[in-house]
Structure 1
Amino acid sequence: MSSSAELKCLSSDSPAGGLTYVWFQNGQKVPDVESASYKGRFGPGDNISCALKEHEACPSPPVYGPRLLSVSVSPSAEIVEGSSVTLTCSSDANPAANFTWYKKHGNPSLQPASKQFNFSSIQSSDSGEYYCTAENDLGRRTSGSIFIHVTYPPKLLSVSVSPSAEIVEGSSVTLTCSSDANPAANYTWYKENEESPKASGQTFTITDIRPEHSGKYYCEAQNTRGRHNTTSHLTVVADPWKLPVALTVPAVFLAFMLLPAWLWIRRRTSLDQQREAEGGPDNSAQVDQLHYPSVQLTRNQEDHIYANVGPDQLHYPSVQLTRNQEDHIYSNVSPAQHQADKQ
């Protein structure tokens, strides 16, 4: 970048006035200029000098714009958050250059404007590319960029759960751990009251989740600068369709066990209703005496013998008579009726 300037040549060994000067630009004599001043347009690469006309072989030291511009950072090793860092801009210029610092995609210019720029306690937000400019009356130059890489332990740690809605038993759940760290963090997952890690990596997935999976989970983020952890709580609710299904099994079993009793009661009720409809005698007493021995009589002539056999006569043998035509007579024989027949 060129600039306009007016240069003056001074000599301490000669009286003021009445002297003739010559000018040189990049080693070449400037024609038609023999005064103490020289006004022109100069670029950063130009070297300008002057001399007394009588002593052209002894020119003055040259003046020039900034050149050989460079930037450096101290310390040159790893830069840790909170430490002190110094940026230095260097150039060869005569007269001495003025310096200005810039950050790419940041402030247009950083103050103070000087050869060095200091961070007393550098932060992660200070990471980025920096460059400087050097300028004097003969020109202006811009340096290349230097990248400041600030390392720091994990921070701004957070855990997200997907799905974020109610966690239903039997579903799949993914936990994701995020943090701001430089260098990038490694992640480890733990469950409360369990020493062994559950998983490693930024995500942790639980498939077919159960109520026993409920509880607090810890995500630990770690890098070379430090570690940090955060907590997430999972609550697993029962599947709304699972409880009715679980109750169905014992209900079916109970129904299976009670079915025979229900069928017997229904059959007995049906028989009672049938007897009442036919108007027949109540044979419930006979039903109760079915366990008593019966009396079977058979003889030549058709006779009817009625007898009631009570519980006291259970030890008597049964009586059987035979006749030409086989008739079977069943009756209930009681002691009182048996005596009546004899009379």
Structure 2
Amino acid sequence: MLLSALIIGLLAPLITCLSTPAGPVTPKAVLSASPPFVEMARPGIPAIKVMEGVWGRNETLSCEVDNPDSLTAKKPGCWSHKGKEIYCSEKADLTSRFTNRLIYGKISLSSLTINNLQDDDAGIYMCCSDEYRCVKISLVVKNVSISQPVASINTELLVLAGTRVQLTCHSSSGSLPIQYHWYHEDPFLGTYSMMNSDATLVFDPCKPENSGQYQCSASNLISNQTSNVLNFTVEEHLSVPYVDADPKELFVFEGQAITLWCKVTAGSPPIIWTWYRVKENRLEIVSSQQELKLDRVQDSGPYYCQANNSVRGMAQGQTSEKHGVHIVPKPVEFALAEAALALVLLCCVTALIIVIVWLLIRKKKAALSKPLDGTQHPASAKAQKNNYGTQVTAGNKKGNYGPQVMAGRKNGQLKPPVRMDYGNSGDIYTNLTPNTIQDENTYHTLS
């Protein structure tokens, strides 16, 4: 016991007990009262604190000791990186590469935040509140894959038209920079098309055609991820419907048709259409389609339509104005004109048939009158002899006959028939009077 007391007495001037206004600090002690000093760690606690930072993101370093009150009462004086001061007495080194990248005391009075971590930011950091109290931090910078992004909306999924809608895509972890893309599903093709390349997608104001499924993707140099599907619907109040017609005059004759359409300028689908007819002071539902066709005389009368849809779970309906439809019977003049036209067409067809039949009959008769052996008709011969030996020629153009002919006539004798050929003669008729008979050899005998 005496020896122990002696040793303590000799070492007492060299041992300094660390104390603060808040009390003694038990975990750490130094063997020197002035720098350089050696930091001693408590058993089970490393002398250097190791932290991991993500490339491109922000990282906060905290200067901590075992007794927090000691540094709460007094801020750390300096921060250094790899033995070089980067922030001291609340002033940063403007010449270092940490300029405009350091935020002091953002998390706590003893914290230092580094923005946009780079590979060169790795290393040993030291913070000291005074020459007795210092903390070492080893920072490791890593490239990290991104986490799955989350798609969110600033309103409910059931949105009223005209509202400002903002979709946000965010990945909470991963090396920066991260690129975002928004996609909208085509309801007809079932495929997604890219909307923009930003973390937010804004519709201001939103319209019914903006309804549908949306999805975003996030990617960095390491990986890429796709978000959840966000499906929202834009509903719109109905406008007052109006009636469109063809023809516009709403007047036709029987047999012709009038087409009516019920239309609205605004209103989210689905829309239910109903056509009404006012008949004898009562309403009659005539159709549940958007289009209505009328073509009978009894269809005449006043009509109107009604449109109904649902907005935010509440049904609503709007009614158009009444429109009178007029379908009248055809006038008698029109009926007579149609009958006359039909009669004229019938007569023309009958006349055409008669002409065709007549031409066919004529052609058939001409074919029957032609000799089958192809010889010339006897009347076309240039010269023929009769049974009496008399030769009839066509050479006598003057029509002279011999005296025998005249004598035979006077005696009343029956003369044989005279056949003459006019085929090659210019004279159709030859006068056989005594005054014109000059050549007695025209006929040998007429008796």
Q: TM-score, normalised by structure 1?
A: 0.44
* TM-score normalised by the chain length of structure 2: 0.35
Q: Which has the higher strand share?
A: 1
The structure that has the greater radius of gyration is 2
Report which structure shows greater RCO (CA 8 Å, sep ≥6): 1
